[in-house]
Amino acid sequence: MADQRARQRRTGQQRPSPERLFALYHLGVDESGAVRFCNLHDCAKILAVSPADLQNWLESARIDQETATRVGFNISRAHVDAQLAESPTEALRIARDAFAAFVVARDQGGVGEVQLDIDYDDL
């Protein structure tokens, strides 16, 4: 953690909010509302940090992939909705709403078994 803070001081990069991290990493929505596919390395490049630092940020915010696959929230549907948004403003709204719903599902429903082989339309 101290190494991460020292690196941030050198690069001037501040840790984004959990909502922004969620939007970029899980939904592909950047801070301007532009949408694109982003994997961990792409997101790290956009944020000007190492993939390891980004992974640490995701884990500390409890929005990393391991956690996300154990929450009863349809992240795939939110991703598609964001990617098909008609405007950057709509993409940002979808991202904001999806993050809020994810947090509720995570914090109230808990983090359980991996949910990869389920019918997400039933969630």
**pTM: predicted TM-score of the whole model, two decimal places:** 0.81
Mean pLDDT over residues 74-79, rounded? 91
The helix (run of H) or strand (run of E) holding residue 38 is: none
Amino acid at 100: A
Range of the domain at 14: 2-122
70: DSSP letter: T
Q: In angstroms, what is the C-alpha Rg of the chain?
A: 15
Q: Quick one: pLDDT band at residue 89, thresholds 50, 70, 90?
A: very high
CB 16 within 8 A of CB 47: yes
- Neighbouring residues of 61: CB distance < 8 A, sequence distance ≥ 6: 18, 21, 22
Number of domains comprising the chain: 1
- Assess whether pLDDT exceeds 90 at residue 120: no
Task: Identify the burial level of 27 via C-beta atoms within 10 angstroms of its C-beta, where 0-12 means exposed, 13-18 middle and 19 or more buried.
Answer: buried
- Per-residue pLDDT tens for 94-112? 999 999 999 999 998 766 6
